[in-house]
A and B are shown apart, each in its own frame.
Chain A
Amino acid sequence: MSDITKQSLSELVENIKGKKLSSSEVAKAFVERSEKSKELNAYITEDYANALNKAKKFDEKPNLDLKLPGIPMAVKDLFCTRDLRTTAGSKILNNFVPTYESTVTQNIWNEGAILMGKLNCDEFAMGSSNETSFFGNVQNPIDKNLVPGGSSGGSSSAVAAQLTPITIGTDTGGSIRQPASFTGTVGLKPTYGSCSRYGIVAFASSLDQAGPMAQNVKDCALLQEVISTYDEKDSTSIDFKRNEYSKELTKDIKGKKIGIPKEYRVDGMPKEIEDLWKKGIEYAKDCGAEIIDISLPHTNYALPTYYIVAPAEASSNLARYDGVKYGFRAEGENLIDMYEKTRSEGFGAEVQRRIMIGTYVLSSGYYDAYYLKAQKVRKLIKNDFDDAYKKVDAILTPSTPSSAFKIGEKTNDPVSMYLNDIFTVPVNLAGLPGISIPAGHDAKGYPLGLQIIGKAFDEQNILNIAYAMEEKINFQNNIHDWWIK
């Protein structure tokens, strides 16, 4: 088969299980395409030789009962991988080689998948365009000099460009859904507590979640089924009954009540986004869903809340990078000088900015005015969703307020960059699952996404809605391999 990399994960699994393809053939195809795609800068660390070896070993004694039998896969470089460098996109972890494996990636290898390499991301997942990475920006395969979104920008670029059949990202304020939307791919942020955070480089612990990024909803459901497990190594992992999401996937969403929140019609929203949303509503109706207008009155306060809570938690989490136990060290005249130089030289500008914000809002005299206030507003935001879910089963919104922008377009204005996450951040604050599916194109031909938000632990329902709508939308991504010489 010549077009291996064009196949979806589900097709590859079927072909390997049916012995029509070997793991080696599949791994070789994705490795070769990845090697020809260096211009995208999607990878930070390549592990191709090992991947090909592991595929060979798999083929010698294939276990075809596994869910991801011999499937090669690259993952976001925020997941610790034993014996393979894990940088979080930062200079400060440039030489860090974990001696342990994250639970989420371990779950993936346990089901037979093979690691191909680590994918680029914004430094410590702080960014919406992958431009804060120490390892340089990533190209969106849709068009040259276009950002792939962030922070999981290497992941979105690699899936859209078919360098990996599927991948995982992490989402603290939109870092899976926004890049999925910018690249015409599918991305799911699961309920907080669904996927273990053990072994994921921490950004904001009350918001971080790992999730699948895929070419279609079915693949996304399959990977979610693999990565979502209860884990006693994460104290906020939740022990609930997890579905076999891919097996229970159905397009029958007749009678499902889908809410349309009026507050998401934000000032200055481009008409293209408004039109996309209207089209989405029609698609949902065509699938038999009932549309209900709802209100999430505190939506406008979500971003300011997020930009207190997330930096506060980050400033605390990132205190561990001191140049003593691991990572980059800058020499200093004394211990304090060493800490200050290490952190000043090791962290990039956006990370320093957020540590400073976080330190300030937690500092003596400001804690109540900022941090406590934000936690209270976070409660109001969560209450909005709780009230809405008395009337509806899911909520439909645009994923982002615009399509992908040019590299460099927003780097000098942090607030305009932050506004990218206006539709995704409330979901993290409330701990809910959300999925972005490609739903159309803007006038420039760039993809646009719709977001479906669910009740906590109701991933199956939003996957079903996405699955049904995906068929009606019948989205085609316009990718022309411009980067392959």
Chain B
Amino acid sequence: MSIDLKTIKHISKLSRISVDEKKAEKLAGDLNSIFDFIEKLNELKTDNVEPLTSVAETTLKLRSDEVKSKNLRDQVIKNSPKENEDYFVVPKVIE
């Protein structure tokens, strides 16, 4: 298998990480060597194996639906890179 530059561009779009040509070439090389290594898994037959999603063999606990923390607006907004009163500010989305 080989990951080409077109695929890198596609993944970069999905990841929301911009890559220029130089970075794309470096990433293609790295990812190809990593996937060569990962391909080893194809040696194993796993048709009848149940996938393991979590090692914590417990069912999720239910809790009552109570508000435990209140008035966190200032704390929530405190680290925002740009704010305007009570809002997070982003570049204009609707023309």
Q: Which A residues are closer than 8 A to B by beta carbons?
A: 95-97, 99-100, 192-193, 206, 232, 235-236, 238, 298, 300-301, 303-305, 307-308, 315, 319, 322-329, 331-341, 343-344, 347, 352-353, 355-357, 359-360, 363, 370, 372-380, 382, 413-415, 418, 429-431, 456
Query: Are B41 and A414 closer than 8 Å at their CB atoms?
Result: no
Query: Are B17 and A327 closer than 8 Å at their CB atoms?
Result: no
**Which residues of B45-84 are within 8 A (CB) of A?**
46, 49-56, 58, 60-61, 63, 72, 75-76, 78-82
Q: How far is the CA of A192 from the CA of B34 in the complex (A)?
A: 27
> Hey, which chain A residues are within 8 Å of B30, CB to CB?
353, 414
| Cβ-neighbour of B79 out of A96, A301, A378 (below 8 A) | A96
Please, could you name 21 A-B residue pairs with CB atoms under 8 Å apart, sorted by A?
A97-B78, A99-B76, A298-B44, A301-B40, A304-B38, A304-B41, A325-B80, A326-B81, A340-B16, A340-B17, A344-B19, A353-B30, A357-B31, A360-B31, A363-B11, A363-B14, A374-B41, A375-B52, A379-B51, A413-B33, A430-B55
> Hey, which chain B residues are within 8 Å of A232, CB to CB?
61, 63
CB-CB nearest in chain A for B8: A356
| Cβ-neighbour of A238 out of B10, B58, B91 (below 8 A) | B58
Distance in angstroms from A320 CB to nearest chain B CB is 11
Count contacts between A and B, CB distance < 8 Å: 161
B12 at the interface (CB under 8 A from A): yes
Chain B interfacial residues counted at CB < 8 A: 51
| Cβ-neighbour of B46 out of A235, A356, A377 (below 8 A) | A377
> Hey, which chain B residues are within 8 Å of A382, CB to CB?
52, 55
> Hey, which chain B residues are within 8 Å of A97, CB to CB?
78-79
CB-CB nearest in chain B for A432: B55
| Cβ-neighbour of A324 out of B11, B18, B88 (below 8 A) | B88
| Cβ-neighbour of B34 out of A96, A328, A352, A415 (below 8 A) | A415
Contact A322 B16, CB 8 Å, known A307-B37, A333-B91, A360-B11? yes
Query: Are A308 and B38 closer than 8 Å at their CB atoms?
Result: yes
B27 at the interface (CB under 8 A from A): yes
CB-CB nearest in chain B for A305: B41
> Hey, which chain B residues are within 8 Å of A344, CB to CB?
17-19
- In the complex, besides A236-B54, A344-B19, A360-B7, 18 extra interface pairs with C-beta distance below 8 angstroms are A193-B55, A238-B58, A303-B37, A304-B41, A305-B41, A308-B38, A322-B16, A325-B76, A329-B81, A331-B91, A343-B17, A352-B27, A355-B15, A360-B3, A375-B53, A377-B41, A377-B46, A380-B49
| Cβ-neighbour of A415 out of B7, B33, B79 (below 8 A) | B33
> Hey, which chain B residues are within 8 Å of A357, CB to CB?
31, 34
Query: Are B55 and A326 closer than 8 Å at their CB atoms?
Result: no
* A-B pairs, 4 with minimum CB distance: A431-B55, A375-B51, A326-B79, A99-B75
Q: Which B residues are closer than 8 A to A by beta carbons?
A: 3, 7-8, 10-12, 14-19, 27, 30-31, 33-34, 37-44, 46, 49-56, 58, 60-61, 63, 72, 75-76, 78-82, 88, 90-93
| Cβ-neighbour of A193 out of B10, B52, B56 (below 8 A) | B56
Distance in angstroms from A228 CB to nearest chain B CB is 14
Query: Are B51 and A414 closer than 8 Å at their CB atoms?
Result: no
| Cβ-neighbour of B56 out of A192, A325, A331, A338 (below 8 A) | A192
Q: How far is the CA of A357 from the CA of B7 in the complex (A)?
A: 11
Contact A335 B91, CB 8 Å, known A355-B15, A380-B49? yes
Query: Are B37 and A327 closer than 8 Å at their CB atoms?
Result: no
Q: How far is the CA of A115 from the CA of B75 in the complex (A)?
A: 22
Q: How far is the CA of A338 from the CA of B82 in the complex (A)?
A: 13
- Of A337, A360, A370, A418, the most chain B CB neighbours within 10 A belong to A360
Query: Are B56 and A332 closer than 8 Å at their CB atoms?
Result: no
Distance in angstroms from B71 CB to nearest chain A CB is 12
> Hey, which chain B residues are within 8 Å of A375, CB to CB?
51-53
Query: Are B55 and A336 closer than 8 Å at their CB atoms?
Result: no
Distance in angstroms from A354 CB to nearest chain B CB is 9
CB-CB nearest in chain B for A350: B30
Distance in angstroms from A127 CB to nearest chain B CB is 14
CB-CB nearest in chain A for B16: A339
Query: Are B38 and A307 closer than 8 Å at their CB atoms?
Result: yes
Query: Are B56 and A323 closer than 8 Å at their CB atoms?
Result: no
Query: Are A238 and B56 closer than 8 Å at their CB atoms?
Result: yes
Q: How far is the CA of A204 from the CA of B54 in the complex (A)?
A: 12
> Hey, which chain B residues are within 8 Å of A341, CB to CB?
18
Q: How far is the CA of A298 from the CA of B52 in the complex (A)?
A: 15
Q: How far is the CA of A32 from the CA of B67 in the complex (A)?
A: 45
> Hey, which chain B residues are within 8 Å of A333, CB to CB?
91
Q: How far is the CA of A313 from the CA of B94 in the complex (A)?
A: 32
Distance in angstroms from B92 CB to nearest chain A CB is 8
Query: Are A315 and B88 closer than 8 Å at their CB atoms?
Result: no
Contact A192 B55, CB 8 Å, known A99-B75, A235-B60, A357-B31? yes
Query: Are B53 and A236 closer than 8 Å at their CB atoms?
Result: no
Query: Are A326 and B80 closer than 8 Å at their CB atoms?
Result: yes
CB-CB nearest in chain A for B81: A329
